[in-house]
Amino acid sequence: MSESKGIAYSQGRYMPVDEATIPLLDPAFTKSDVVFDVVSAWDGAFFKLEDHLARFRRSCEYIRVKPPCSEDEMRRIMAECAVRSGFDNCCVYFLCTRGRYAGGAATGDPRESENEFIAYAVPYYWIVPNDRPNAGAHLWVAETIRRAPNEAINQRVKNFNRMDLTRAHFEALDNGADAPVLLSLDGYITEGPGFNVWILKDGKVLTPGENLLEGITRQSVFELCADAGLQAEAADLTKADLQDADEVFVSSTGGGVMAVTLINDKPIGNGAPGITTSKLSDNYWKKRSEGWDSTPFSDILEPEIPQAAGAD
Ligand code: PLP
């Protein structure tokens, strides 16, 4: 049997992820009219599942879709996808699509669509390469494209409107970097495809606060900084702030806390992953292994049945 690439749930069925499709006429495809979220699972337990579900709920409300199942059903479907995939560690995507307009048409009144819930599990991945432990990632602050402003596409809503991110990705790769970081229209650092950006400068940990997705891992980093007694806050940052930082790192569901050692052509600090970054990364994984905000699949799939009170 070939190795599992993952299991998807769509239209009430589980299937190999390769076989799951979106109808050509679903505005999720033709208009990117869909919201999603991604939760990771390690050793049979989701990490911060409730935070991901809460963000998904807010995303759904913003674009006015309603998943056709309860959150309990979503939890169960997501755990099923993970368990059926057979991965020890995975990322589970979950989406609510607009669904086709009334009568299966390509156009019409979006309020009359049949919204759909889709989920799928894929092997756990690192959003920037993690096979060079002493090198860290090479980021590229894009010069030819800016992040779409919140006024056009609310970046707090996890969306697939990614033409800006993808174009910047090409620019980064063409310049030999691993991934791009995009500036806002005002010239401040926002985020990259799949991650938030952080710097350490003079003992303070800083991250952009505007025009970006507020990552669940970003929230985790604030918690890790508080644990470590580090002052951490949101701030407007420029490309020069990144290049002059003592340390730079990114945070993502796909990889946790990951060091950055080169921004465009400028090495950060001494060019090696920073000590604070490494500590935050180690603590992230240590806390996860100790059960930090974890929800075991078994709690979802085999909930304990409360003992009936005995008659006396
Ligand atoms: N920013 C963008 C655009 C993302 O797509 C993601 C995650 O995929 C993030 C930031 C990081 O968010 P999280 O920490 O919830 O994975």
Q: Which residues does ligand 1 sit against, CB inside 6 Å? A: 38, 191, 194-196, 212-213, 215-218, 251-253
* pLDDT score of 310 more than 50: no
CATH 3.30.470.10 domain range(s) in the chain: 7-124
Distance, CA of 97 to CA of 111 (rounded, Å): 13
Residue 312 pLDDT: 43
Q: What is the mean pLDDT of residues 131-139?
A: 86
Q: Which residues pair with 35 in a beta bridge?
A: 96, 159
Q: What percent of the chain has pLDDT over 90?
A: 88
Q: Please name the residues in contact with 297: beta carbons below 8 A apart, sequence gap of 6 or more.
A: 41, 44, 45, 46, 79, 82, 83
Instruction: Return the pLDDT at 249.
Output: 98
- How many CB atoms are closer than 10 A to CB 212? 23
- Kindly give the number of the ligand 1 atom that is closest to the alpha carbon of 218: 14
Q: Which CATH number fits domain 137-289: 3.20.10.10, 2.40.50.140, 3.40.190.10, 1.10.10.60?
A: 3.20.10.10
The lowest-confidence range among 106-115, 248-257, 291-300 is: 106-115
Q: Hunting for tokens 């603590």 — which residue is that?
A: 283
Q: What is the per-residue pLDDT across 151-165, written as a single tens digit (0 to 9) for each?
A: 999 999 999 999 999
Distances in Å between the alpha carbon of 140 and those of 144, 206, 220, 241, 258?
11, 19, 24, 14, 15
| Per-residue confidence (pLDDT) for residue 304, from 0 to 100 | 64
Averaged pLDDT for residues 68-78: 97
- Helix, strand or coil, per DSSP, at residue 182: coil
How confident is the model at residue 2, as a pLDDT?
Answer: 63
Q: Taking all residues of the chain, what is their mean pLDDT, rounded to a whole number?
A: 95
One-letter amino acid for residue 296 of the chain: P
- Predicted local distance difference test score (pLDDT) of residue 104: 82
Residue 146 Rama label (left phi>0; alpha psi -120 to 50; beta): beta
For residue 191, give every residue at least 6 positions away whose Cβ sits within 8 Å of its Cβ, in sequence order, or none.
Answer: 147, 155, 181, 182, 197, 208, 212, 213
> Which amino acid would we find at residue 273?
P
- Rounded to an integer, the average pLDDT of 263-286 is 97
Q: For the domain 7-124, what is the CATH code?
A: 3.30.470.10
> What pLDDT score was predicted for residue 132?
77
**Span 14-21, average pLDDT:** 96
- Model pTM score: 0.95
Considering 96-105, 123-132, 149-158, the range whose residues carry the highest mean pLDDT is 149-158
Stretch 25-52: mean pLDDT? 96
Given this model, what pLDDT does residue 133 score?
66
| Residues 77 and 9 sit within 8 Å (Cβ to Cβ) | yes
The reported pLDDT for the residue numbered 106 is 79
Q: What is the pLDDT of residue 3?
A: 79
Residue closest via CA to ligand 1's atom 6 equals 194
Residue 290, φ and ψ in degrees, nearest 5: -90, 5
Ligand 1 binding pocket mutation candidate from 252, 258, 280, 293 (most atoms within 8 A of CB): 252
pLDDT bucket at 227, cuts 50 / 70 / 90: very high
Every domain range in the chain assigned CATH 3.20.10.10: 137-289
Q: How far apart are CA 129 and CA 189, in angstroms?
A: 21
Q: What is the DSSP letter of 51?
A: H
Helix (H, G, I), strand (E, B) or coil at 65: coil
Over 90: is that where the pLDDT of 130 sits?
Answer: no
Distance (angstroms) between ligand 1 centre and the Cα of 157 equals 10
Nearest CA to ligand 1 atom 2: 194
* Residues in Cβ contact with 121 at an 8 Å cutoff, skipping those fewer than 6 apart: 6, 7, 8, 17, 41, 78, 81, 82, 84, 85, 87, 90, 91, 92, 93
What's the sign of the alpha-carbon dihedral 131, 135, 137, 143? negative
